[in-house]
Amino acid sequence: MLLMAKISVLPSIYKEEDVRNLRNSFGKHVAKMKESGKLLSGWGLAGGRGAFLLFNVNSGEELLDLLSPVVLDHTNVEVYPVLELEKLGEFFKKYAK
């Protein structure tokens, strides 16, 4: 199942040392998520402190484990199921009658 997670750093994390520590731990954690093979891609937000991450997981529990407290304790997370455009086209054709 493809899930897109939008993450935004909590506004309460603003002190220079806290931001530096978060960037360091988050960078290491993203590498671990990539190594799992479950994080397909990611994009940073140019206008803010956050990112979009695309996962291919079998369950919500698997996503929760991948995000771990490193992400969950320091960000707001929104998760959306997504599908390829080809699948969306098939859906539209099916109900175009």
Distance in angstroms (rounded) separating the CA atoms of residues 20 and 24: 6
Q: What is the CATH number of the domain that holds 13?
A: 3.30.70.1060
Q: Above 80 in pLDDT, residue 97?
A: no
What was the pLDDT predicted at 62? 97
**What is the tens place of the pLDDT at every residue in 40-76?**
999 999 999 999 999 999 999 999 999 999 999 999 9
- For 14, 15, 51, 85, the CA distances from 33, given in Å and listed in that order, are 25, 26, 14, 25
Q: What is the pLDDT of residues 15-29, one digit of tens each?
A: 999 999 999 999 999
pLDDT at 96 over 90: no
Q: Containing domain of residue 76, as a range?
A: 2-94
Q: What is the pTM of this model?
A: 0.87
CA distance 97 to 95: 6
Q: How many domains does the chain have?
A: 1
- Quick one: tokens of 90? 């098939």
Coil/strand/helix, residue 84: coil
Contact 71, 7 (CB under 8 A): yes
Cβ–Cβ under 8 Å, residues 33 and 39? yes
